[in-house]
Structure 1
Amino acid sequence: MKIALAKESDILEIQKIATQSWQENYQNIISQEQIDYMLHLMYNEKELQNHFQNENYSYFFIENESEMRIGIMGVEINTEEKSTKLHRLYLLKSEKGKGFGKLAIEFLKNWVKEKENSRIILNVNKFNPAKEFYLKNGFSVYSEGIFDIGNSFVMDDYLMEFVLS
C-alpha cells in the first residue's frame, strides 16, 4: 500500500473516488437526495480548487499493491490549535476490510506528528459503521453535533478525536 499526495490536476480522480465511495457506502445511512446534495456541495470543482489553494489542506490517495487508487483522504491542519481535521477518509467498498484504512490512519498519525500537531479530530455520522473503525484505531467520542448543511439536510454526527502522545 502507498499513500500519495494528490495535486490539483487530480480533482477529477478525487471526484470519481468520492462519488463511487458515497454511492456504495452511504445508501443505508442517508437518502439519495442528501448524498447527491452533499457530493455536489463538497466535491464540486470550485470547492476542491479552494482546498488545493489552501496551504493547510491536503489530499492523499490511498493506493493498493498494484498502485490503483482505491481511496482518498482529505485533511486540514490548524497550527494555532495544534490539531488536524480529518475531513474525509473514503475507501472503495471492495477494498474495505483489507487493512488499507488502518494503514491510512497510521500514516496520518505520523504525518500529524511531523507537522507538530497533537490532535486529530473528525466527524462521523451516528449511523455510520465507520465509528467502530475509528474506535478500534484509538479515537474516542468527545461530543455530538447536529449541523445544518442547507437544503433541509443536517449532519447528525459524533465528534471524535485522537490525541497523540
Structure 2
Amino acid sequence: MNVSILSKSDYEEMKKLFLDVFSNEPWFDKWNKEQLDLYMKDLTENNNSLSLALFNEKEELIGCSLGYIFNWWEGREYFIKEFFISRKNQSQGVGSTFLTLIKDRLRDEDVQHITLATEKTVPAYHFYQKNGFSVLENSAFLVKKVIE
C-alpha cells in the first residue's frame, strides 16, 4: 500500500468511494450530487487542505483522509474531517495501516498532532481509540442548529 496526495485524476473515484462508504451502515447518509460536489470542494480546494489517498498493490484507490493543516501555538496539526476505507477493505487492518502511513508522512512535515471528531455511537470511535487517539477531557464538540 502507498499513500500520496489525492490527485485531480482520482477525484471522481474518491467521491464514489466516499458515497459507497457513507451511504451504507452505520451512517446511511443521503447525499445529492450538488451537495456532495460542494462538500468535496470545501475539503480539497482550500489553501490548507491536505487530501491523502491510499492505494493498494494494484494501484486502486481504497481509502482517503481529507482534512486541513492548521498552525497552532503547539505547532502544526492535521485535522481529519473525513477518513474512509473501502467497505471491502474494512476490518482487515487497512485503516490502521493508513493511519500509520499518515503519521509517518506528517512527522516528516513537522506536524505535531492529528485531531478529528467522530460520534461515540459508531464503530469509528473505537477504531480511533484502538489507534492511539484519546478523548480530550476538557474539550467538547458543540453544535447549534441555525434553521429549525
Mapped to 1, the partners of 2:120 and 2:58 lie a distance apart of 34
Residue-by-residue CA offset, 1:104-139 (whole Å, 9 max, x unaligned): 111121222222121110001121111111111111
Is 2:47 the counterpart of 1:55?
yes
Q: 1:124 to 1:40 in 2, by over 3 A?
A: farther
Report % sequence identity.
21
Q: 1:136 to 1:72 in 2, by over 3 A?
A: same
Which segment is superposed worse, 77-86 or 96-105?
77-86
Q: Structure 2: 5+ residue runs without aligned partners?
A: none
Q: Indicate the residue corresponding to 1:147 in structure 2.
A: 143
Match of 2:83, SS state, is strand
1:50 CA drift (Å):
4.4
Match of 2:30, SS state, is helix
Mapped to 1, the partners of 2:65 and 2:145 lie a distance apart of 21
Is the Cα contact below 8 Å between 2:23 and 2:30 reproduced in 1? no
Q: Indicate the residue corresponding to 2:21 in structure 1.
A: 21
RMSD (Å) for aligned C-alpha atoms: 2.5
Number of aligned pairs? 144
Is the Cα contact below 8 Å between 1:79 and 1:117 reproduced in 2? no
Q: 1:124 to 1:105 in 2, by over 3 A?
A: same
Q: 1:53 to 1:23 in 2, by over 3 A?
A: closer
Is the Cα contact below 8 Å between 1:85 and 1:122 reproduced in 2? yes
Q: 1:24 to 1:111 in 2, by over 3 A?
A: same
Q: Indicate the residue corresponding to 1:88 in structure 2.
A: 82
Q: Structure 1: 5+ residue runs without aligned partners?
A: 153-165
Q: Indicate the residue corresponding to 2:113 in structure 1.
A: 119
